[in-house]
Amino acid sequence: MLKQLESLLWRFGSNKTHLKLARKWGVEVGERTIILNCDFGAEPYLVTIGNHCLIAAKVQFVTHDAGIWVFQEDQHPPPYNKVGPIVVHDNCMIGISSIIMPDVEIGPNSIVGAGSIVTRNVPPNTVYAGNPAEYIKSYDEYLEKSRLTEIDIESAATVKEQLIQKFKNK
């Protein structure tokens, strides 16, 4: 199914446009990566995304923590801003509307569930989700569970029928 999604995105130019913009802003992006409409924040040049990643729509990469604003009027104010890089390693998927905070690394072969807020590193070969994101299961456990709901997609025209048959006509 991912190959069909990738094919559609390339055909309609959506991924090309987002990749071009991300790279123009300074985001390092690997090969075969799909980026939908994302927010790379004020320092996009601090974001690195590896090969064969899928970054869903509305993902926000937050490379700075402006919370220290409240200390600016203290006797000994801290630096103006706390800034840190974000690294997404190879073969990762970040779900729709997730937020990735500064100084976070997402390990290879990892998945971040939709709507998650990632405040610390995600180890390799894991699935994390929630607010704050926490460990859900291993890559292998997720693969095994995914096989239970797998469908054979031969063409985009039959997807709807296969999904209805699999999930509605049990």
Q: Which residues are catalytic?
A: 76
What distance in Å separates the CA atoms of residue 11 and residue 9, rounded to the nearest whole number?
5
Strands (E) in 76-166, as ranges, are: 82-83, 86-88, 93-94, 99-100, 104-106, 111-112, 117-118, 126-130, 133-138
What distance in Å separates the CA atoms of residue 104 and residue 88, rounded to the nearest whole number?
8
